[in-house]
Amino acid sequence: MGEPLLIRASLLNPVGADHWVFYRDGGLLVHEGRILCMGPMSEFRQQKVSAMLELDSLLVPGFVDVHIHWVQHHVRGRFQSDLMEWLRNHIWPEEIEFDNELFARRHAQTFFHDTTRAGTTLGMAYSSPHVRALEIAASEAIGDWVLGNSIMEKAAPEPLCRASPDNADQVAPLLKKLGHEHYAVTPRFALNCSAELMRELGDLARRENALIQTHLSESLNEVREIREAFPEAQDYTDVYDRAGLLGPRSVLGHCIHLSPREHETLARRGAWIAHCPSSNEALDSGRMDLQAVRRHGIRYALASDVGAGPSHSMLHVMQRFLAQHRDAGVDVNAREALYHATLAGAECLGRDDRAGSFAPGKRADFVELPLPDRRGGPDHWFESLLAGEARDLEERPLRTWIGGSPVDLGQEEDGDDWPPLG
């Protein structure tokens, strides 16, 4: 059982898109892996607490990455070309390798090590089409993950494609085995699936209230190919809408080249966007129209989209989010970035009752960051933590805590300065 532990540190807690609560001298009371309460340290002075830990660091809730391809982690940021070319020439040949169980296990271990090291404690990831690789990832996961095997029946190398109805038939047993909390129905994107298959998956997901993840409107070439493949649909978004794949449990990667009609459809269905600014920069896909997304009240959460995204660090994603929209003259700030990399992601995955912020009853999952220079307020503090190259940001967190304990990630092979764990 153990006694409650009071952690004294600076705390930054996102509570909304434009609002966070900051305690320069804060206290976080943790018991049995959950948060009992948090507030300014002065509120804890009267309380009798047997165990207290004083940290010279800034704590933020664990990061949430709602769109990442764990099977592309080892080739992240390596290729920069048009999306369709990149998939066909580089990514699909790599994913074929995940048929090999040893290969899959080794890469799963590295992926979860690296994402945890970088402060991600909750996420949703695409797997390769191989069911065994998906099960291996589920068994190796550190933290709280939703996984889905990419469902592909055509327009990709033969070893990645499965004939339908096998594709849909595979889903129900996997949902049962991994559980609704940890499995997402994952038609990779419309070009890989027939309208019939997507309809079947849409029906099943609705019946089971399952999470759905797919890609929508990432590049102009892709949009063009979709128009040819689905002449009956009004637009790309309509392809998914007709299949019943759009709802509040749907998470659509990218959503860059959308018409007002498509934005309206997403808003009406209550679907989520996985906004991947660093990936969009890397593949030169364009900028998601944040103003239109805000205007239509479409909900979005941030994501790394590794391997198109060059880094799994959500600090890096937040950096690119601010830079990309500011370059376009759009007003964005650090509060919005942190909210969309934490609490919004938890809401997107249906976990805001237990993750995404510091609140009583939630899991004590958080990231310990070095204290920035003490001038200025929290906006200045937090933005200074987002400065640097991707590699620096991947290693900026001092420790990642899951369920009230720092995760012991062991010695890194390259002898990096991972601090000893208490």
Cα 177 to chain centroid distance, Å, stands at 22
402 DSSP β-pair partners: 405
> Least distance in Å: CB of 216 to Zn ion?
10
For Zn ion, the closer CB: 26 or 123: 123
| Interatomic CA distance for residues 257 and 310, integer angstroms | 21
Nearest CB to Zn ion, comparing residues 140 and 305: 305
Q: Which is nearer to Zn ion, 305 or 347 (CB)?
A: 305
CB of 69 to Zn ion, least distance (A): 6
Asked whether the beta carbons of 29 and 36 are under 8 A apart, the reply is yes
Rounded Cα distance between 243 and 61, Å, is: 36
- Stretch of residues binding Zn ion (CB under 5 A), selected from 154-162, 165-173, 299-307, 379-387: 299-307
Secondary structure E strands in 93-194: 120-127, 144-149, 184-185
The number of beta carbons lying within 10 Å of the beta carbon of residue 267 is: 15
Using the rule CB under 5 A, give the single segment among 97-105, 152-160, 177-185, 303-311 that binds Zn ion.
303-311
For the bound state, the minimum distance from the C-beta of residue 191 to Zn ion, rounded and expressed in Å, comes to 13
Cβ proximity to Zn ion: between 76 and 263 the closer is: 76
160 near 218, Cβ under 8 Å? no
CB nearer to Zn ion: give 214 or 357.
Answer: 214
The site map against Zn ion for 186-225 (x = CB under 5 A) is ----------------------------------------
**Is 11 or 125 the residue whose CB approaches Zn ion more closely?**
125
DSSP state of 252: E
Contact indicator for 301, 345 with CB cutoff of 8 Å: yes
d(CA 95, CA 243): 26
- Options 302-310, 325-333, 388-396, 407-415: segment touching Zn ion (CB under 5 A): 302-310
| Shortest separation between residue 408's beta carbon and Zn ion, angstroms | 30
Q: At 26, which amino acid appears?
A: G
C-alpha separations of 376 from 313, 334, 339, 380, 384 in Å: 25, 14, 20, 6, 11
Tell me the closest approach of the beta carbon of residue 215 to Zn ion, in angstroms.
6
Query: Which residue, 134, 172, 133, 128, is CA-closest to 151?
Result: 128
135/305 with CB nearer Zn ion = 305
Query: With binding defined as CB under 5 A, does residue 253 bind Zn ion?
Result: yes
Measured from the CB atom, the residue of 218 and 347 that comes closer to Zn ion is 218
Q: Is 305 in the site for Zn ion (CB under 5 A)?
A: yes
Query: Interface with Zn ion by CB under 5 A: which range of 156-164, 247-255, 261-269, 354-362?
Result: 247-255
Least distance to Zn ion, CB of residue 156, Å? 14
What is residue 212's three-state secondary structure? strand
Contact segment (CB under 5 A) with Zn ion among 128-136, 175-183, 242-250, 305-313 equals: 305-313
DSSP conformation class of 16:
E
**Contact footprint for Zn ion (CB under 5 A):** 253, 305
